[in-house]
């Protein structure tokens, strides 16, 4: 798989978010859950953030205190397998939407990437994603580029700004890997098996909460999908990072966030799946 295809697999691998400077995450509204994979209404509320251009918060009730977790849907292993080494069971979902947001604060400047995407897992895999990359210019965000990636049949097209449309024919193995990593269960299973993960279950929403408190990033960054890890500035593996994720009773990821900081910068990555059918 060439470099461009690898990056596209990354779009399929990460997952959805609202803009997050170091910890600006949304919460799933209490009572809005995916009970056994059945779709229900969700809303995302950005956390207040004193940063130019950050979204304004909406007022919602705080999530209920989590209860003790019952046995998780899938048996954990001591250490998660590296991405690409294990299979994902046949898709349970037909389609879903995904939002991804990243914000990186580096010596070279501050940039954000916001992606919205729609996926169909069966009967045939299709996807369309639009990513907007912006840089902070003074107190305002300036759009740098827009990238649209479409996969239909075995043809992937990529359009970056005004550049010519690029077209690539995928192998069956490449298409299968995209579908596998797009499945909302993929990242849940990786996260559940991380060393030091703490899982709690909310009886009211039927949502699992998976967390790793502030710890050395190297304790779990190495187990994340490669394209997620590539968004993290060098040095985070030595300093502080935290991870938080929510999944339903069938392991479909509802939301996930990773925030980290090092001597050379900070990063926030968030993912949200919605309209899971």
Q: Is 212 helix (H, G, I), strand (E, B) or coil?
A: strand
In angstroms, the Cα distances linking 220 to 75, 216, 223, 225, 265 are 19, 8, 6, 11, 19
DSSP bridge pairs for 141: 136
| Residues with Cβ within 8 Å of residue 164, at least 6 apart in sequence | none
Long-range contacts of 171-175, Cβ-Cβ distance < 8 Å, separation of 24 or more = 174/1, 174/5, 174/9, 175/125, 175/151
The Cα–Cα gap between 49 and 20 comes to: 8
Task: Give pLDDT, residue 65.
Answer: 52
Whether residue 258 has pLDDT greater than 50: yes
The Cα–Cα gap between 155 and 269 comes to: 29
pTM of the prediction?
0.69
In angstroms, the Cα distances linking 12 to 22, 30, 76, 224 are 23, 27, 24, 13
Whether residue 112 has pLDDT greater than 70: yes
Whether residue 22 has pLDDT greater than 90: no
Return the higher-pLDDT residue of 4 and 147: 147
Peptide bond into 123 cis (omega under 30): yes
Q: Looking at residues 227-232, what average pLDDT do you find?
A: 72
Q: Measured in whole angstroms, how far is the alpha carbon of residue 54 from the centre of its chain?
A: 19
Task: Give pLDDT, residue 60.
Answer: 41
What letter does residue 113 receive in the DSSP assignment? E
Radius of gyration of the chain (CA): 18
Q: Which two tokens mark 72? A: 């998780």
Q: What is the pLDDT of residues 115-140, one digit of tens each?
A: 999 999 999 999 999 999 999 999 99
């Amino acid at each position: 798989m060439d470099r461009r295809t690898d990056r596209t697999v990354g779009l399929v691998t990460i997952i959805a978010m609202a803009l997050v400077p170091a910890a600006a995450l949304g919460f799933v509204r209490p009572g809005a859950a995916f009970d056994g994979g059945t779709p229900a209404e969700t809303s995302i509320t950005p956390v207040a953030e004193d940063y130019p251009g950050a979204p304004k918060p909406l007022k919602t009730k705080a999530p209920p205190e989590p209860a003790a977790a019952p046995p998780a849907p899938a048996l954990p292993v001591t250490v998660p397998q590296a991405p690409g080494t294990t299979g994902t069971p046949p898709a349970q979902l037909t389609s879903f939407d995904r939002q991804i947001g990243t914000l990186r604060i580096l010596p070279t400047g501050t940039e954000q990437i916001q992606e919205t995407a729609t996926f169909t897992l069966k009967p045939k895999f299709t996807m369309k994603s639009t990513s907007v990359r912006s840089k902070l210019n003074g107190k305002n965000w300036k759009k740098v580029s827009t990238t649209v990636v479409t996969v239909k049949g075995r043809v992937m097209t990529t359009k970056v700004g005004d550049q010519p449309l690029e077209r690539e024919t995928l192998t069956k193995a490449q298409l299968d890997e995209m579908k596998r990593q797009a499945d909302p269960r993929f990242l849940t299973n990786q996260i559940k098996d991380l060393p030091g993960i703490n899982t709690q279950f909310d009886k009211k929403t039927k949502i699992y909460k998976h967390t790793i408190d502030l710890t050395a990033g190297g304790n779990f960054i190495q187990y994340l999908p490669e394209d997620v890890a590539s968004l993290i500035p060098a040095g985070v593996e030595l300093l502080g990072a935290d991870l938080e994720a929510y999944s339903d009773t069938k392991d479909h990821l509802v939301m996930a966030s990773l925030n980290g900081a090092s001597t050379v910068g900070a990063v926030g990555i968030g993912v949200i799946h919605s309209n899971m059918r």
